[in-house]
Amino acid sequence: MKLKVIDVNLSTGGPAIAIISEADAKKLGLRASDRIRITRLRTGKVAIAVADISSEHIRPGEIGLFEEMLKILDIKEGIHVEVIPSERPRSIQYISAKLEGNPLSRKQIYEIVSDIVENHLSEVEMTYFVAACYSNGLSMEETANLTNAIVETGTRLEINKRMILDKHCVGGVPNNRTTLIVVPILASLGYTMPKTSSRSITSPAGTADTMEVMAPVSLTLEKIKEVLEKTNACMVWGGGNMNLAAADDKLIRIRHPLSIDPEGMLLASIMAKKKAVGATHCLIDIPYGFMAKFPTKQSASSLAKKFVKLGRMLGMKVKVVMTDGSQPVGNGIGPALEAYDVLSVLKGGGPNDLREKAIYMASEMLAMVGGKKAREKVIDALDSGKAYSKFREIAIAQGGKKHIKLPKARNFFDVISPKDGAVFQINNKAISRIARIAGAPQDKAAGIYLRVHCNDRIRKGSVLFTIHAQSRAKLENAILVAKECESITVK
Amino acid sequence: MKLKVIDVNLSTGGPAIAIISEADAKKLGLRASDRIRITRLRTGKVAIAVADISSEHIRPGEIGLFEEMLKILDIKEGIHVEVIPSERPRSIQYISAKLEGNPLSRKQIYEIVSDIVENHLSEVEMTYFVAACYSNGLSMEETANLTNAIVETGTRLEINKRMILDKHCVGGVPNNRTTLIVVPILASLGYTMPKTSSRSITSPAGTADTMEVMAPVSLTLEKIKEVLEKTNACMVWGGGNMNLAAADDKLIRIRHPLSIDPEGMLLASIMAKKKAVGATHCLIDIPYGFMAKFPTKQSASSLAKKFVKLGRMLGMKVKVVMTDGSQPVGNGIGPALEAYDVLSVLKGGGPNDLREKAIYMASEMLAMVGGKKAREKVIDALDSGKAYSKFREIAIAQGGKKHIKLPKARNFFDVISPKDGAVFQINNKAISRIARIAGAPQDKAAGIYLRVHCNDRIRKGSVLFTIHAQSRAKLENAILVAKECESITVK
């Protein structure tokens, strides 16, 4: 069937979709989500698309194409194409089988992932894949295959080094910004550490958001290689146009609406990003405790074992540390306030808990790669100022300014203790919520600055934390929430 | 945030979606699939939509609305709206819980179904619902609640009768067009039978497709009531604008891409359509046998029990018959060819297997409502011509012509037996496939006309079946497939 292209002036954000009229769909025997093969007549360029059947907006004889399809076919409105029904991708059968409880073979997983990356699957079909992995679980073998498939269908960072270090924290603890301290320490000791981090999803700041206050983090792969050659390390955003683990970004989009995190998919998602940068050694931090992702050490240790096993299957040395996540690590919560803590520690001062955790993480990492007297070397790197110099070197290589100037909020409010006593508990979730309502991470300077940690003895009226906000209105909202929920318990 | 409406000139086919720019999404702290509340400034009309974040086509300060949203807000391009973030529907949490294996309460099921009907859920979220019901199953209680929720959120056909009869076949057997014979028989005996049927999805014809060759089947609810008052019965298409079981139509769209049929959802889907027309007595036909949906009587009987139990929970009398589905019932396969068989039987002749099955079904139905000497009465209705008169009466009331003229194909081909012997097996799936390739159901006259049934003794060179096609090309394709696959086995 010959149809005239209409540019619908929209993007699908991925999936290859074409809209045809009900009448033409009937003639071709198509139902919604069936596939069509579109051929540009003059050039012979071909694309497969999911047929979306319109009752109104596309007339018989026309085919509505989204941006993605126009690009693939290199075509404009008004040009004619030939359209015939096409088979559905075989990966759909594999997804069905997984939903029915059958394990997926290596070949099947590769085909599903490659169809996801090439936009051959609709959102509905990808959702069935996520749901199937969630309901029926993924074996370690399936997880390893999924990880490799995600790596191999995405872009890889090729660095010619024998050892490449990486670290990851499963999150859930405010601040805890050790990455931005550990990376310059190890780089200053001569190790290669191409660190990619995420932005905030539901937290007041992700590592990439915090780094962005001090230097650009949205770099091309070329630029990242340049930074690495110059400085041994980088601290950049892992998303965007880099296309590392592209399939993973698409799956995360599908997981978001229900916050569905199939464990195997979570493991694959994390480890694929490590393997894509060529990591040979990886340190994983799983914080546990009150209002962390894992309530107890026991609950964290099953995941810990899987990380180690998956690492072995992927040919990567993985070490897991389970750390205290019962309260924030550091004082600042929000991009600029966290950056302030990071810079303080790098300059030899800073909140002691953040400094101690960074030293611990860096020492464990160094011990992994065979460094002797690890803790001593790490402390020396910090105290001698070598780590700070390295940090500035990396930040400048990424395009940062020579003099880092942190943004400051315009409005403040001190939340005070209602009584004498000791700090019994700090609720990570409540603290994060208040910081977000104050404007973080959108408003870089917004957030919370903690004045106390657990077990501190305090007097009635002394400050528990300060809320920082750009706008008066956001400050008022944050104060309201701070008054409603007991974020810090004094006993 | 004040935004200017852009008409994107497309429909989503349901879900309420609005497109906003990346910059505005960031300001509002939104991620893809978060909700926004849109208020039309002048009138105060309000709508909730899923936020779709565009990187290009919608500029900051604009909001792209699909047809559905423009209608709800009664708004046009260029008008300004106020946009704020909004909570997600609670039903999403219920879907998450079901995916985790928790049962759904009556209230939760009603909320999910009502959000589906009111277009509050995105396709991804509805997919998770289907997948959750598939993976974790639905209990009988959940199934009954789902059925009632589908009925109550849709339109109902109100008929003031003490007894309302209905029938259903789970399908999988070519032709088997008993409905179009049973309905006029029972209507001629004074019973009320408001029959809604489906169109073909993957078969060469659905009951609605076959009826449509003889009379219009796409009627409004008003028109259907008129037909029922005049004739006691109708034989119409259950989809389209009638809005009976509207939630079900949306769920079927989501089930299609993977052909996912969670058993509880299938039961609810069928029974909701019966309850929506007020059925008090319902006969269910489950054919079993080689290449039917159920290979053995045992495999069919678990479903049979559930139909009966569900009927009881819904206050409906349900009887299930398990019938021989090992070969097509009747000779014609394709809309016009099946209509030919139906009319032949109604006139007292026709293929004997179809006549016998129709008599059996009608007698069982009549016995259910307490009719004495059921079989005799049914045979009399057929042989006296009363059923045929009733059929014509109904067809004319639906808008059909006084003289039914069946369309005839232009091209034919006889497939012959390669040897002497007896017909050992007829492959339902292969026969259906050839009929579809010949053009059915799009080409009304296309399909297959069987010349033999199982156990018939035949000679080498005698005709097994005739392929009917409109176009030469489709005939050639059908011949090719007929030669490749052994649709009829002679031993």
pLDDT score at B405? 94
What is the tally of structural domains in chain B?
A: 4
Characterize the bridge pairing of strands B46-54 and B80-86.
Answer: unpaired
pLDDT score at B334? 97
What is the domain-level CATH number for residue B196? 3.40.1030.10
Task: Identify whether residues B30 and B123 lie together within a single domain.
Answer: no
As a whole number of angstroms, the distance between CA B304 and CA A462 comes to 72
Query: For a pLDDT cut of 90, what percent of chain A falls above it?
Result: 82
The answer as to whether B249 is a domain residue is no
Task: Identify whether residues B109 and B179 lie together within a single domain.
Answer: no
Nearest CA in chain A to B95: A258
The answer as to whether A54 is a domain residue is yes
Per the listing, tokens 């005996």 go with B189
Closest CA to A257 of B100, B57, B30: B30
Q: Name the residue range of residue B438's domain.
A: 411-490
What tens digit of pLDDT does each residue of A180-207 get? Answer: 999 999 999 999 999 999 988 789 999 9
A414 membership: H or E segment, kind and range: strand A411-416
* Per-residue pLDDT at A240 exceeds 80: no
Q: Count of CB atoms within 10 A of residue A486's CB? A: 12
- Give the distance from residue A374's alpha carbon to the nearest chain B alpha carbon, in angstroms: 42
What tens digit of pLDDT does each residue of A88-147 get? Answer: 899 999 999 999 999 999 999 999 999 999 989 999 999 999 999 999 999 999 999 999
The alpha carbon torsion through A195, A200, A205, A208 (nearest 10 deg) reads 30
Q: From the candidates B68, B135, B255, B256, which should be mutated to test the interface with A, based on the most A CB atoms within 10 A?
A: B135
* B residues 278-307 lying closer than 8 A (beta carbon) to A: none
Residues 6+ apart with CB under 8 A from B69: B16, B17, B18, B38, B47, B49
What tens digit of pLDDT does each residue of A52-66 get? Answer: 988 778 999 999 999
Query: For a pLDDT cut of 70, what percent of chain A falls above it?
Result: 100
The answer as to whether B254 is a domain residue is no
Task: Identify whether residues A324 and A349 lie together within a single domain.
Answer: yes
Closest CA to B388 of B338, B346, B357: B346
- Give the distance from residue B128's alpha carbon to the nearest chain A alpha carbon, in angstroms: 6
Characterize the bridge pairing of strands B421-426 and A281-288.
Answer: unpaired
* A residues 47-66 lying closer than 8 A (beta carbon) to B: 52-57, 64
The whole-number average pLDDT for the span A342-354 is 96
Catalytic site residue A261? yes
What is the domain-level CATH number for residue B432? 3.90.1170.30
Note the helical H segments in A31-122. 67-73, 91-99, 106-117
Q: Is residue A381 within 8 Å of A193, Cβ to Cβ?
A: no
The answer as to whether B253 is a domain residue is no
Q: Is residue B79 within 8 Å of B40, Cβ to Cβ?
A: yes
Catalytic residue among A74, A261, A383, A420: A261
B29 to A96: CB separation less than 8 angstroms, yes or no = no
What tens digit of pLDDT does each residue of A409-426 get? Answer: 999 999 999 999 999 999
Task: Identify whether residues B72 and B96 lie together within a single domain.
Answer: no
- Give the distance from residue B433's alpha carbon to the nearest chain A alpha carbon, in angstroms: 13
Q: Is the peptide bond before A441 cis (omega within 30 degrees of 0)?
A: yes
Q: Is A90 on the interface with B (CB under 8 A)?
A: no
Q: Is A22 on the interface with B (CB under 8 A)?
A: no
Task: Identify whether residues A384 and A302 lie together within a single domain.
Answer: yes
pLDDT score at B338? 98
A99 to B123: CB separation less than 8 angstroms, yes or no = no
The answer as to whether A255 is a domain residue is no
Characterize the bridge pairing of strands A80-86 and A2-7.
Answer: antiparallel
Task: Identify whether residues A210 and A314 lie together within a single domain.
Answer: yes
Q: Is A251 on the interface with B (CB under 8 A)?
A: no
What is the domain-level CATH number for residue A74? 2.40.40.20
Distances (CA, A) of B115 to B67, B92, B244: 19, 10, 16
Q: Residue A351 is encoded by which pair of tokens?
A: 């909140």
As a whole number of angstroms, the distance between CA B123 and CA B50 comes to 11
A128 to B127: CB separation less than 8 angstroms, yes or no = yes
Q: Which residues of A372-397 are buried (b: 16+ CB within 10 A; e: fewer)?
A: eebeebbbebbeeebbbebbbbbbbb
Q: Which of B332, B363, B397 is the last residue of a domain?
A: B397
Q: Which of A368, A397, A426 is the last residue of a domain?
A: A397
pLDDT score at B28? 87
Q: Is A25 on the interface with B (CB under 8 A)?
A: no
B127 to A124: CB separation less than 8 angstroms, yes or no = yes
Task: Identify whether residues B11 and B71 lie together within a single domain.
Answer: yes
What tens digit of pLDDT does each residue of A378-437 get? Answer: 999 999 999 999 999 999 999 999 999 999 999 999 999 999 999 999 999 999 999 999
Q: Residue A120 is encoded by which pair of tokens?
A: 């051959």
The answer as to whether A232 is a domain residue is yes
Q: Which of A373, A397, A421 is the last residue of a domain?
A: A397
* Per-residue pLDDT at A291 exceeds 90: no
A442 to B99: CB separation less than 8 angstroms, yes or no = no
As a whole number of angstroms, the distance between CA A320 and CA A318 comes to 7
Per the listing, tokens 């004498």 go with A420
Q: From the candidates B7, B10, B62, B249, which should be mutated to test the interface with A, based on the most A CB atoms within 10 A?
A: B10
Residue type, position A453, single letter: H
Q: Is residue B11 within 8 Å of B67, Cβ to Cβ?
A: yes
As a whole number of angstroms, the distance between CA B342 and CA B353 comes to 12
Q: Is B96 on the interface with A (CB under 8 A)?
A: yes
The total number of residues written for chain B in this structure = 491
Within 8 A of B26 by CB-CB distance, chain A residues are: 442
Strand ranges (E), A73-160? 80-86
Per the listing, tokens 């290589």 go with A397
Task: Identify whether residues B309 and B361 lie together within a single domain.
Answer: yes
Partner residue opposite A32 with nearest CB, options B19, B125, B253: B253
Q: Helix crossing, B386-397 with B179-188: angle to 10°?
A: 100
As a whole number of angstroms, the distance between CA B471 and CA A268 comes to 52
Q: Is B82 on the interface with A (CB under 8 A)?
A: no
- Positions of chain B with pLDDT under 70: 241
Chain centroid offset of residue B210 CA: 14
Task: Identify whether residues B392 and B316 lie together within a single domain.
Answer: yes
Within 8 A of B52 by CB-CB distance, chain A residues are: 13
What tens digit of pLDDT does each residue of A439-461 get? Answer: 999 899 999 999 999 999 999 99
ipTM for the predicted complex comes to 0.86
As a whole number of angstroms, the distance between CA B72 and CA B81 comes to 13
Task: Identify whether residues B320 and B465 lie together within a single domain.
Answer: no
Q: Is residue A465 within 8 Å of A489, Cβ to Cβ?
A: no
Within 8 A of B259 by CB-CB distance, chain A residues are: 96
Task: Identify whether residues A301 and A333 lie together within a single domain.
Answer: yes
pLDDT score at A472? 95
Strand ranges (E), A126-239? 165-169, 193-197, 233-237
Q: Is B27 on the interface with A (CB under 8 A)?
A: yes
Q: Is A29 on the interface with B (CB under 8 A)?
A: yes
Give me the active site residues of B, please. Answer: 261
Report phi then psi at B14, rounded to 5: 155, -85
A201 to B31: CB separation less than 8 angstroms, yes or no = yes
- Give the distance from residue A221's alpha carbon to the nearest chain B alpha carbon, in angstroms: 21
The answer as to whether B242 is a domain residue is no
pLDDT score at A13? 80
Closest CA to A99 of B259, B228, B208: B259
Q: From the candidates A57, A120, A258, A477, which should be mutated to test the interface with B, based on the most B CB atoms within 10 A?
A: A258
As a whole number of angstroms, the distance between CA A429 and CA A435 comes to 10
Residue type, position B487, single letter: S
B80 membership: H or E segment, kind and range: strand B80-86
pLDDT score at A249? 86
Please report which confidence band the pLDDT of residue A11 belongs to, taking 50, 70 and 90 as the band edges.
Answer: confident
Q: Is B318 on the interface with A (CB under 8 A)?
A: no
Q: Residue B42 is encoded by which pair of tokens?
A: 């002048």
Within 8 A of A95 by CB-CB distance, chain B residues are: 258
Nearest CA in chain A to B203: A29
Size of interface A-B (CB pairs under 8 A): 121
The answer as to whether B129 is a domain residue is yes
Task: Identify whether residues A234 and A354 lie together within a single domain.
Answer: yes
* Sheet (strand B317-324) strand order: B165-169, B281-288, B317-324
Q: Residue B466 is encoded by which pair of tokens?
A: 């005739």
A131 to B136: CB separation less than 8 angstroms, yes or no = no
Q: From the candidates B35, B128, B252, B255, which should be mutated to test the interface with A, based on the most A CB atoms within 10 A?
A: B128
pLDDT score at A474? 94
As a whole number of angstroms, the distance between CA B321 and CA B304 comes to 8
